[in-house]
Structure 1
């Protein structure tokens, strides 16, 4: 978990508790982008001794995180005290949530005010007297934990900047839903992913793997004791790190809505999960038939099968479950995903659900399609009207469990979602890939957008994701961006992708094509040099990634793609050399190099995804439509007689 928290900058030590001599200061990178952050003075050294002052009880995870940041920064002794002295004689770090007098007084000394938004926080630091004052103030316990995550990012080198950060999330729900078909994550992967989410200031993980038998096909059956115990370790990790673990049951394929025994089976399942610390629940009714009943009793109770009858029956069941959650004092409301979970077209189903469903129940929606190419504020507003409440967006990115995604890792930045969606959505959760670690670059974008949609920058976030995966190493970061570029295409269920393939590499290749066609010898040479450099970068990237990526599991998950990328890079290098040879009049050499390039390309194209790792296996795709077509076309772009 500690490794998964390293999102950007390495933590290090300081020596003395006084302001560093004035030099040009820069604001550290903070992820996700905060609502407001400004420098207020020079850097402050933490000193070898720091005094920790807590307003009330701070949860153990938050305190442990703050202590680990200070220790990693070289603080040798952390003392505790209360209250703050009138004159500062050391570095004082003040922690607190709510409106405690100690927090109000500390913020007043720094010229800031307490946060007012749920999950909001203030982080401020000043040098004063013979020491310094650093205040982490949360609106609530979640906000204080987020402040500690930001502290981890702004303590750099041997100092912390004098700064003032006021921050809060734009959307109440931010995180992931393990909602894909095929091989689901292991318990260890889930725990690692939850630590990753916590570092992003996310707050939600929904457990809904489609092929988990006791949640879907065998939903009426009790979990085996060992499985329940293992799930409990995941729930505990989530609860400690301020991530809401939401348990989803998927009874739709066999539910009898009118049978009290089926409602009781749901109650029994939720009670068992409640016993291991789960306090948020979900009923999934997606990917099922609603034009037939599963039992004769439903036709007697709700009439002939059809959209309207299905929605009425579902609402009756969901309302009963919602009432149970309220009676049990569970956190928040029941969440559901409807059978019509995409588009906003008015229908008998949506009308009946809107009219009958308890307004407290949260409805998920995937956008204007199952995998939408874009989502606008208008789209979300239409969804609000269609379902009678703000929806929780289930964004099917970067999930790769469908035919069009076969052979792909989906690693393009999160784009084409309009700023301002926070006004019409209750939140966003990403449906990731079967490959947990490889999902993280895209998930980082989704969570950053949900935190601050109007301040979101897709390109900056994409680069931040590469730095995180590389633990800050610049060469590994560059290699990852090269690799990400070859996995940039984002398909939909149709033929038109919503993200283009390999835009950086395509620009280099297109420039080479244009230069070869231009007749300008100098431009040709320059373009082929650039192409050769790009090929070198492509061929070298996999080894750098294998050696330098620190996220557990990524190298194993990406193994066939890394292998193929190395071969494609070598093939492109030979292709560039063949074009060079042809331009120099060495036709025989060019022919040999083109043949060798074609052989390597064939080897690369023959590599398949890891059997069983995804729902739909297939040949590995690496910048397909860009690399393969150019290597195939290259021998025909320059002609010389063989010599």
Structure 2
């Protein structure tokens, strides 16, 4: 067979064809090097089983002559890894979280080596094998890969209904598949992390959090616990510091190593206690910076003591967006422990774009490279009412890896649909210089569709109706339904300027497009195995089917009018009735911060249906 370079997401740092095709067959010999965690071995075994392998033998070495499929797996620099890599004309990885995956075909057998620089790298190698082994046979490749950014993942930091523990469990597994490495637990509506932050968690909740921490570890995700004391904290209070450390100690007992203090969305020019006025002076933005640095430095010092092996504390400042010089930012820059990581949301709360100069300005303003909190695809603000945000992750400049410590996405209240954009963000953070937004968008659709082509196409049609990306202003930073708009604009133009044959062809294309929209929801419901995606997207799928039906009637009305038939009037009337019903579909009450009517290709589809009766004279 002809070998073609496979599509792997995130795009590897380096990938080349190595000659030949690897056919695993039904029997594989697994050669395990030292220092290989059992869970990654189990993942590889499951990947092989899914690929049709029914028998897995183990061995300690690879024979000189291959007679079947061999897979060598491990970390470090053992002789068996060195020999296997050399045989496949590859070098062992040298970068943190990096891996080498290389195959060679010899005689009647083949050899694939999965070598990780560390345990995380080996897990990432297994995720690449998972993508390759979706086919019964795959081209032999030589991949050398490692991430551009140290921190990649999500922050559950939205307002409104938090994710369920089941949502979080599924999301952590998704992050592992996407080669992310960070999940920050910071739901605004967890009372024990914000309003009642001084209070201990109930035992049952701690048990649930412990299960999540275990799931994160299985998927090589750093579980970061965040507390938001800002609304009530007394920065100079020894008892409040003690309460904060006690909260972290309880979470550390669950094997959590990474911690975070959020000071966003608070009143920072008004003290919560008289003691802060006495210690830091009259309330002001600069005094707030000094007070916050005082508390955070004490927390960082405690975390770094006692041999806890704790990474740097992360904080989100009260001025978390833009990079303009202010007394507050200057105060943090001067007084905050340089080990503490500062988060920043970009040039705005929901930035339409982020450039390298933007990130450089943030580095200067905060006195350190920042960790980007990207407020996409979060939909907890008024401008996102009635929307799923399913456009590609884009307009972040290649090369940002040189100015950021990483990126985490703030996702939607709807966990499963959030993966469309988050997969783009994690792919960008892994390899920003080779990132392709459109190709990764398609890959996200295939992931949700379990690689079924018909379901993938239906999902991309659905995504296009949810393409608009709002900001806090009136101008969206991504347009609504660009694919559909192209079709509808072509119909308008052809009806205005085309001859009879061109008009018939355009109306035929319109009818096909209407069928695609009307039929996509049923295809998605039948083809997507993840029932959470179906449940969380349900009102959008309901509304899409109705809008598709309205467009079908509109297309039929235009064809009738083009043929000189008076039935066009009733068809247009039925289309309007169907469109009115579609526009009345409401979001799931309480699922997001703002309830309201569902938006489907708004400003594109609704306008075309409304304008259609006037495009051709009706008899």
Q: Structure 2 length normalisation: TM-score?
A: 0.98
Equivalent-residue separation in structure 2 for 1:316 and 1:465 (angstroms) = 44
Distance 1:450 1:386 in 2: 22
Larger displacement relative to structure 2 (212-221 or 95-104): 95-104
Say which is worse superposed, 96-105 or 553-562, in terms of deviation.
96-105
Tell me how far 1:512 sits from its aligned partner: 1.1
Cα drift, residue 332 of structure 1: 1.7
Match of 2:147 among 169, 186, 211: 169
Alignment partner of 1:54 out of 27, 32, 47: 32
Q: Are the equivalent residues in 2 in contact too, given 1:115–1:138 (CA < 8 A)?
A: yes
Q: Does 1:521 align with 2:500?
A: yes
CA distance in 1, matches of 2:454, 2:9: 21
Residues 485 and 505 of structure 1 are in contact (CA less than 8 Å); yes or no, is this contact kept in structure 2? Answer: yes
Aligned partner of 2:131 in structure 1 is: 153
Cα shift readout 1:474-512 (whole Å, capped 9, x = no counterpart): 111111111100000000000000000000111111111
Matches within 5 A, 1:16-165: 23-128=1-106, 130-165=108-143
What does residue 356 of structure 1 align with?
Answer: 335
Cα deviation 1:277-335 (Å, max 9, x = unaligned): 21100000000011100000000010111111101111111111111221242442110
When structure 1 is superposed on structure 2, of 400-409 and 631-640 the one drifting more is: 631-640
1:604 equivalent to 2:586? Answer no
**Deviation at 1:129?**
5.0
Which one is further off, 45-54 or 609-618? 45-54
Aligned pairs for 1:290-305 (under 5 A) are: 290-305=268-283
3-state SS of paired residue (1:43): strand
Q: Is the 8 A contact 1:280 1:330 kept in 2?
A: no
Decide which of 179, 184, 189 is 1:211's aligned counterpart: 189
Q: For residues 149 and 331 of structure 1, do their structure 2 counterparts lie closer, same or farther at Cα, with a shift above 3 Å needed?
A: farther
- CA-to-partner distance for each residue in 1:558-613, whole Å, 9 max, x for gaps? 111111111111111111111111122223x1111111000000001111100000
**Which of 238, 254, 274 is the matching residue for 2:252?**
274
Partner of 2:286: 308
Q: Distance in 2 between matches of 1:475 and 1:532?
A: 18
Q: Deviations over 1:340-384 (max 9, x none)?
A: 000000000000101111111111000000000000011011111
Superposition map of 1:461-476 within 5 A: 461-476=440-455
Residue 510 of structure 2 corresponds to which residue in structure 1?
531
Alignment-derived partner of residue 8 in structure 1: none
Match among 532, 557, 560 for residue 536 of structure 2: 557
Match of 2:522 in 1: 543
Contact 1:373 1:492 (8 Å CA) reproduced: yes
Give the aligned partner of residue 241 of structure 1. Answer: 219
Aligned to 1:405: 384
Mapped to 1, the partners of 2:173 and 2:386 lie a distance apart of 28
2:300 aligned partner: 322
1:241-266 deviation line (CA, Å, top 9, x unaligned): 10000000000000000001111111
Please give the alpha-carbon distance, in whole angstroms, between the structure 1 residues aligned to 2:5 and 2:518.
Answer: 35
Once the two structures are TM-superposed, the CA of residue 519 in structure 1 deviates from its matched residue by: 5.2
Q: Hey, what's the Cα distance between the residues in 1 that align with 2:20 and 2:451?
A: 24
Name the residue aligned to 1:5.
none
Q: What runs of 5+ residues in structure 2 fail to find an aligned partner?
A: none
Q: How far 1:417 moved relative to its partner?
A: 0.5
**What whole-Å deviation, never above 9, does each CA across 1:19-42 have from its counterpart, x for those lacking one?**
xxxx31112221111111111111
* SS, match of residue 553 in structure 1: helix
**Residue in structure 2 matched with residue 4 of structure 1 by the alignment:** none
Counterparts of 1:86 and 1:93, CA distance in 2: 14
Q: Is the contact between residue 28 and residue 153 of structure 1 (CA under 8 Å) also seen in structure 2?
A: no
Look up the SS of the partner of 2:139 in the other structure: strand
* Aligned-partner SS, 2:152: strand
Whether contact under 8 Å (2:87, 2:104) holds in the other structure is no
1:130 shift after superposition:
4.7
Alpha-carbon distance, 1:84 to partner: 3.1
Task: Verify the 8 A CA contact 2:74 2:116 in the aligned structure 1.
Answer: yes
Which residue does 2:311 correspond to in 1? 332
User: How far off is 1:131 after superposition?
Assistant: 2.9
| Distance in 2, Cα, partners of 1:426 & 1:271 | 26
Q: Which runs of 5+ in 1 are unaligned?
A: 1-22
Match status 1:637 vs 2:615? yes
Deviation (angstroms), 1:57: 2.8
Assess if the C-alpha contact under 8 Å between 1:437 and 1:552 holds in 2. no
Deviation at 1:89, TM superposition (A): 4.2
Report the counterpart of residue 6 of structure 1 in structure 2. none
In 2, Cα distance between equivalents of 1:160 and 1:529: 40
Distance in 1 between residues matched to 2:24 and 2:484, nearest whole Å: 45
Residue-by-residue CA offset, 1:153-194 (whole Å, 9 max, x unaligned): 112433242210000001111101000000000001101000
Mean CA deviation greater in 94-103 or 259-268: 94-103
Structure 2: distance between partners of 1:403 and 1:477: 30
Kept in 2, the 8 Å contact 1:366–1:396? The answer is: yes
Once residues 309 and 270 of structure 2 are traced to their aligned partners in structure 1, the CA distance between those partners, rounded to angstroms, is 33
Cα pair 2:28 2:55 within 8 Å, conserved: yes
TM-superposed CA distance for 1:99, in Å, is 2.3
Give the alignment partner of residue 344 of structure 2, picking from 359, 362, 365: 365
RMSD (Å) for aligned C-alpha atoms:
1.2
| Local SS of the residue matching 1:163 | strand
- Measured against aligned partners, the alpha-carbon deviations of 1:416-468 in whole angstroms (never above 9, x if no partner) come to 11100101011110100000001111111011110111111111011111111
Show the counterpart of 2:422.
443
Q: How many angstroms does 1:50 deviate by?
A: 2.1
In structure 2, how many angstroms separate the alpha carbons of the residues matched to 1:507 and 1:76?
49
Further displaced range: 154-163 or 195-204 = 154-163
CA contact (8 A) 2:35 2:76 kept: no
2:496 aligned with 1:512, yes or no? no
The TM-score, its normalising length taken from structure 1, stands at 0.94
